[in-house]
Copies of this chain bind each other. A is one copy, B any other.
């Protein structure tokens, strides 16, 4: 057995988390306060020692919130920093606080309390954005645009209908965050290092103090578990995916070729070299930030892959990726809401484009179906008529009944009512359809539902 040890290696910079976990400080202290009260209640420490500890913790809380707390080089993580300071303040009493708990359950507690708060904030920001969407939809009820599939004109739709599609995506996102919250809001504290504790403690009391709706049921699982972080990152990835789709549309719609919308200059920047540029930077950055959010999810899945139970130090890697996701989602939500509110629509252009490209061809086919032609046959007939029209540079509206009758005797003057773009929109009255009354219905129902939740 030979080895060669030249000199001491300082790995504290490599292992310490204090540079990023200090944002957990308020939760760490709040958790310690509840833990301390429980230790007193269960007579594990005396009332007077408990009072000293509580006083010390509250002072530390204030020092941190006022940025007067001095972090020392040996403060490996926020838990140790707080405890070190507490012992400075209270001596031996502070040393009793860690009875019946461990950093393994403590860090889970801090993370859960932090995430619980952040989910609520994010949900509220989503609600704000939904509100901007609903208001913009209400303001622009008369705007008709080409509806797209495959980025080709498909059928004319209301702009409000299109925008409300994002409302419903966000509704699902909020549901997912709420479902996630159920699994975040579980008390891990006092699972100890992994096996529970031999002290006669009262976890129900701690849960009530800290507002947890339930208590973890297996101490080994409790300290091994980062599911709640990963679930949050998954839900966040979906939300960000929705933003990436919206951002893509904003970028495409802002191109000179589309010119559907104009984004307020607050959300655009110029060029260092091209004087005419007004670039949709905010939308591009939102789209680009999808990368980091997807990557953060993949990071944590990778960290946890194949980790034996229970706590392993690998799990410290959860924090930076979680914090980055929380910050990014909040930042994006904060800029998206005013961006949507300030969108200027070029409604004339949208309408005129909706009229091009035979977007009413489905309605033309439906016209024949209603006169008894099987759908498949009607579809083929109209395709032939579209090709005929294209060859002549005409729209369907510009054909004569005579020309139409060559394809089928069923055509008559009423055809032109059916294929009028506004009529096309108004006719789609199926539930969830683009007819104004149906879109208004979506807006109305969404408001009611929001209140009920």
Structural contact, A140 and B321, CB atoms closer than 8 A:
no
Structural contact, A311 and B140, CB atoms closer than 8 A:
no
Structural contact, A149 and B291, CB atoms closer than 8 A:
no
Q: Is A30 an interface residue (CB 8 A)?
A: no
A430: chain B residues at CB < 8 Å are 100, 190-192, 196-199, 201, 203, 219
Structural contact, A294 and B285, CB atoms closer than 8 A:
no
Number of A positions contacting B (CB below 8 A): 208
Q: Which of A15, A237, A276, A339 is most buried by chain B, counting CB atoms within 10 A of its CB?
A: A276
Structural contact, B149 and A271, CB atoms closer than 8 A:
yes
Structural contact, B277 and A290, CB atoms closer than 8 A:
no
A254: chain B residues at CB < 8 Å are 151-152
Q: Out of B4, B194, B234, B296, which one reaches A147, CB within 8 Å?
A: B194
Q: Out of B1, B238, B284, B300, which one reaches A150, CB within 8 Å?
A: B284
Q: What are the interface flags for A170-204 relative to B under an 8 Å C-beta threshold, 1 for contact and 0 otherwise?
A: 00100110010011000000111111111111011
Structural contact, B302 and A290, CB atoms closer than 8 A:
yes
User: Given contacts A299-B292, A300-B291, A303-B291, are A256 and B353 in contact (CB under 8 A)?
Assistant: yes
**A residues 293-316 in Cβ contact with B at 8 Å:** 294-316
Identical copies in the complex: 4
User: Given contacts A152-B277, A194-B154, A298-B294, are A199 and B92 in contact (CB under 8 A)?
Assistant: no
Q: Is A69 an interface residue (CB 8 A)?
A: no
Structural contact, B342 and A4, CB atoms closer than 8 A:
yes
User: Given contacts A244-B305, A305-B305, are A274 and B432 in contact (CB under 8 A)?
Assistant: no
Q: What are the interface flags for A239-277 relative to B under an 8 Å C-beta threshold, 1 for contact and 0 otherwise?
A: 001001101110110111110000010110111111111
A374: chain B residues at CB < 8 Å are 92-96
A276: chain B residues at CB < 8 Å are 153, 357-359, 361, 382-383, 386
Q: What are the interface flags for A315-352 relative to B under an 8 Å C-beta threshold, 1 for contact and 0 otherwise?
A: 11100110000000001001100110111111110000
Question: Which residue of the partner chain B has the closest CB to A99?
Answer: B375
Q: Is A452 an interface residue (CB 8 A)?
A: no
> Which stretch from A20-28, A110-118, A158-166, A397-405 is at the chain B interface?
A158-166
A269: chain B residues at CB < 8 Å are 15, 76
A59: chain B residues at CB < 8 Å are none
Min CB gap A328→B, angstroms: 10
A85: chain B residues at CB < 8 Å are none
**A residues 429-443 in Cβ contact with B at 8 Å:** 429-435, 438, 442
Q: Is A57 an interface residue (CB 8 A)?
A: no
Structural contact, A377 and B152, CB atoms closer than 8 A:
no
Structural contact, B194 and A183, CB atoms closer than 8 A:
no
Min CB gap A278→B, angstroms: 7
| A374 to B308 CA separation, bound complex (whole angstroms) | 32
| A382 to B271 CA separation, bound complex (whole angstroms) | 12
Sorted nearest first, the 10 A-B pairs with minimum C-beta distance are: A196-B433, A288-B314, A295-B299, A95-B374, A95-B376, A276-B358, A284-B313, A295-B295, A291-B303, A150-B279
A-B contact pairs, 7 of them (CB 8 A): A4-B139, A76-B269, A146-B256, A198-B427, A217-B445, A219-B428, A295-B296
